[in-house]
Amino acid sequence: MLIVETILKPDRFGGIGLFSATRLPKGSLIWIHNPIVDIAVRPEQYEALAPTFQALLDKHAYPRDYKAYDGVIEYNADNARFMNHSSRPNTYQDDHCRVFTARDVQPGEELTCNYLFFDPRCDVSWNEEPSVNVDAPTG
């Protein structure tokens, strides 16, 4: 669940991105897990959904825990689902699944994360940025 003010607007790829509405100093906590907003979907629940909602989950959900992957995916029901990938993100996730800013973020700047950090199987081949070591500290 996002705990900072954000706005949605077009990103540089022609899609939608998540942008900070305020200045966020380095180390600002911006996201915490909330089971009401961050919905866990088990495989049998996914299979029971309409194809249109499965497609939404295919686009916006991610493995709840890739290290002990049990098929459960997580869907952020707030604007966090619009955070885009960057191999040089301005946010990072700690060991407690909290998300912080990796550097100062200015108002109107897009908030980004490295998808490979929480889903190493994610296809980011479309990304034109050079790849980085996902195990390297980013915060």
- Tens digits of residue pLDDT in 12-55: 888 999 999 999 999 999 999 999 999 999 999 999 999 999 99
pLDDT of residue 122: 77
Q: In whole angstroms, give the CA distance from residue 132 to residue 15.
A: 23
Residue corresponding to tokens 């199987």: 121
Q: In what order do the strands lie in the sheet with 38-41?
A: 38-41, 73-76, 62-63
pLDDT at 130 over 80: no
Mean pLDDT, range 53-61, rounded to an integer = 94
Mean pLDDT, range 105-113, rounded to an integer = 97
Backbone phi and psi for residue 116, each to the nearest 5 degrees, phi listed first: -70, -20
pLDDT at 128 over 90: no
Backbone phi and psi for residue 44, each to the nearest 5 degrees, phi listed first: -70, -30
